[in-house]
Structure 1
Amino acid sequence: MPLLENGQLKDDNWQSVADGAALPSGDILVPLSRLAEGLGRNNEGRLGVVLQSGDSVDALRQALPRLDCVQLIFPIFRDGRPFTQARALREHLQFKGEIRVGGHVLPDQYEFLLRCGVSAVLLREDSDLAVWQKAHDAFTVAYQPSVLEEQPEGFALRRRLF
């Protein structure tokens, strides 16, 4: 699948490992159920974990210093828990690695995902890159706080008025 980072397509060097499959060398993404097995590898590449929307990010607390990537999955559009997971990873657990999302993600959500701490989005093969880039450039002013190093305009306006 194509990987979108900072509004641009990027090569995705991560291999997703299914339950029951052998762990290959190189950069791998393992399900949460196989995290301990992945942590047991000896410098055979970078390690990431795939969290489903119902998984708790607290389950990663001890492993986060050894993880390079966390992939969050949107099972359906109505399930917004990956937004909360991304924000918790960045703000509460201080995760500095890559946070990527996959699954049912729409271009309209792209800026909001970035503001929650997401680094990259896995696009479907039939995705139109121009639509995603337009969504990335559509919002120039933010009114809510985010994990990004910025001052939201909403707070600045309130300070000027009151």
Structure 2
Amino acid sequence: MQLIKNQQLVDDQWLRVSDDDALATGNIIISLQRWQQDKPELVKRDGAIGVTLGPADEVASIADDLSHWQLIELHFPEFADGRLFSTAWLLRERYGFSGELRATGQFIPDQAFYLARVGVDAFQPANSAVLNDTLACLADFSVNYQVSVN
């Protein structure tokens, strides 16, 4: 599956592992619940770890675990919920997360530019047919009036 990373279309190098599946080798993305449940086992395994956060997940509650993760997936269950914009900014600016921040789910292409401004550097919309539209929207504006993460 393809996604946008650093303003280019690339193949996804991560495997999503559900809460019921055995842990795979390589780079995996797991739920926050799975991380909290299996943390002792996960920190010992080879391969990079990514965690999915939703709009209701509090950044302060996971701050101590950020050093274990190379990717944080911000999953938008619906486009009308903007809390993950704040989550992205907090992860980058307040907590210094330097790994990949990936927006997934029901965001719309028009939101990509603003997500990039708060630190998101990878995009995987629920509808892969809008990947090229999303990529184009990253260049919507050439001038920024406010300072931001990017």
TM-score scaled by length of structure 2:
0.90
Question: Which aligned runs of 4 or more in structure 1 are off by greater than 4 angstroms?
Answer: none
Q: Choose which of 93, 105, 112 in structure 1 pairs with 2:107.
A: 105
SS of equivalent to 1:35: helix
- Does the Cα contact within 8 Å between 2:53 and 2:75 map onto a contact in 1? yes
Query: Shift of the alpha carbon at 1:96?
Result: 0.7
CA distance in 1, matches of 2:101, 2:40: 18
Distance 1:59 1:104, change over 3 A: same
Instruction: Please say which structure displays the higher CA radius of gyration.
Output: 1
Please report the RMSD computed on the Cα atoms of aligned residues, expressed in angstroms.
Answer: 1.6
Secondary structure of the structure 1 residue equivalent to 2:129:
coil
Q: Tell me how far 1:28 sits from its aligned partner.
A: 0.6
1:39–1:47 CA contact under 8 A, matched in 2: no
CA contact (8 A) 1:27 1:47 kept: yes
Question: 1:29-61 CA deviation, whole Å, 9 max, x = no partner?
Answer: 111111142552334210011011111112221
Report how many aligned residue pairs link the two structures: 148
Q: Which residue of 2 aligns with 1:138?
A: 140
Deviations 1:104-153 (A, max 9, x none): 011111110110000101133542443223212221011222112xxxxx
> In the alignment, what sits opposite 1:20?
20
Structure 2 distance, partners of 1:50, 1:44, is 19
What secondary structure sits across from 1:45 in the alignment?
coil
Q: Distance in 1 between matches of 2:7 and 2:15?
A: 22
Report the residue type matching 2:10 in the other structure. Answer: K
Residue 40 of structure 1 pairs with residue 58 of structure 2 = no
Output the CA distance in 2 between the equivalents of 1:98 and 1:115: 14
Change (3 A) 1:51 1:39: farther
- Is structure 2 residue 54 aligned with structure 1 residue 52? yes
Equivalence for 1:96? 98
**Quick check: 1:23–1:38 contact (8 Å CA) kept in 2?**
no
Aligned-pair identity (%): 37
* C-alpha separation in 2, matches of 1:146 and 1:92: 13
Give the 3-state SS of the residue equivalent to 2:144 in structure 1. coil
Unpaired segments ≥5 residues, structure 1: 149-162
Cα 1:3–1:130, aligned 2, differ >3 Å: closer, same or farther? closer
